[in-house]
Structure 1
Amino acid sequence: MFGFNKKEMKTFKKLNSPKKIQDFLNKIPINFEPEGDTCFSPRKVLQEWRCHCIEGALLAAVALRFHGYKPLVVDLKTTKDDFEHVIAVFKQHGKWGAISKTNHAVLRYREPVYKDIRELVMSYFHEYFDNKGRKTLRSFSLPVDLSRFDKKGWMTSSENLWYIDSYLDKVKHFKIINKKQISGLRKADRIEIQAGKIVEWKK
């Protein structure tokens, strides 16, 4: 199925719920990209056994696809001083949730309790801040159906998927905050900044 071998299919078939997919992602070490920037395909992630946020989101989207969900991801854009994030999103009982790969105590899994994508995205707003405590989330994309890239063999490619990364960067994004609101934002508390420095995987 989808070009995966028997071993890979067995792995995906076991991941039959969003929470199992998240648990599986959490076991995969962070990809610190020692050889340079990467955008691994889901197959490559399983082979290398490491991934960062977009790579984890693509893997999660495939796992969801194996169990009847559409392979959807959402791109979260920040200020230039922070890192953007990509999440795999899913819908259960009419509500949206998210699967997320991160090395920090924040920007993680979201239960499917949000009525729309904007509400889901806004659940990340308060905890999305830089090392100085400045809140940096600025816009988001609507869900992108990755099946649009099926003809390119994105799920099992041995090459970096920069075309997906580029598409997510260029697709229409929706602002969540205006200049007046930005000027009035309060910085995160010191204890929040300290908690934000906790990492799951060390280099």
Structure 2
Amino acid sequence: MSPQRVLRERKGHCLEGAVLAAAALRVNGHPPLLMDLEAVRDDDHVLAIYRQHGLWGSIAKSNFAGLRFRAPVYRTLRELALSYVDHYYNLRGERTLRSYSAPVNLARLDNRHWMTSDEDVWCVPELLIATRHFPLFPDKVARALPRLDRRSFEAGMHGWTKH
């Protein structure tokens, strides 16, 4: 849904939250940028990203406590994406984050009215999927990632609801 629809209907998932945050960032003078976090055996996650004083931060909506906001303290987008690794896990406790996308500037979709459309804005996820993704680490490292410990798992699930 477009940010206008999200505000009107007062609901949204991860993607809608990121698109709404990108619109809010744009209204406040930042370019409307998104970044896709790609996972295995799990859902992808979308972040609205911004720069402040040359450093990257992000805004996101998630039912998992550790997948939300990041203060702008990261020198690169890779550093920002890596900050999500320990908090990005599936219901089996497997750490699942594997790659991140190049930034996507939603201004490219202004002619599709991504901020105000009453229709679904499928052009946004289509653009994210088509954008180049970069691996965070080699497959050998990914296979050796330990499962999350029980206490960290439970802490990250605080506020989680089935959908």
Q: Same fold (TM over 0.5)?
A: yes
Q: What is the distance in 1 between the residues matched to 2:47 and 2:128?
A: 11
Residue 78 (1) aligns with residue 39 (2): yes
In the TM superposition, residue 202 of structure 1 has moved relative to its aligned partner by 7.0
Q: TM-score, structure 1 length as denominator?
A: 0.77
Q: TM-score, structure 2 length as denominator?
A: 0.95
The CA deviation string for residues 47-103 of structure 1, in whole angstroms up to 9 with x for no partner, is: 101111110111111111111100001000000x21110000011111110011112
Corresponding letter in the other structure for 1:134: E
Residue pair 2:6, 2:16 contacting (<8 A) in 1 also: yes
Corresponding letter in the other structure for 1:55: E
Q: What is the distance in 1 between the residues matched to 2:23 and 2:39?
A: 26
Q: What is the distance in 2 between the residues matched to 1:149 and 1:195?
A: 38
Q: What is the distance in 2 between the residues matched to 1:144 and 1:55?
A: 15
Gaps of 5+ in 1: 1-39
Gaps of 5+ in 2: none
Query: Which residue does 1:42 correspond to in 2?
Result: 3
In the TM superposition, residue 119 of structure 1 has moved relative to its aligned partner by 0.4
In the TM superposition, residue 200 of structure 1 has moved relative to its aligned partner by 5.6
- Name the larger-Rg structure: 1
The count of residues paired between Structure 1 and Structure 2 equals 163
> Cα RMSD over matched residues?
1.3
Residue pair 1:132, 1:193 contacting (<8 A) in 2 also: no
* More strand as a share of residues: 2
Q: Which structure has the higher relative contact order (CA within 8 Å, separation 6+)?
A: 2
Query: Which residue does 1:145 correspond to in 2?
Result: 105
Aligned pairs (5 A) from 1:1-203:
40-79=1-40, 81-199=41-159
Corresponding letter in the other structure for 2:4: R
> Any runs of at least 4 consecutive aligned residues in structure 1 with deviations exceeding 4 A, and if so which?
200-203
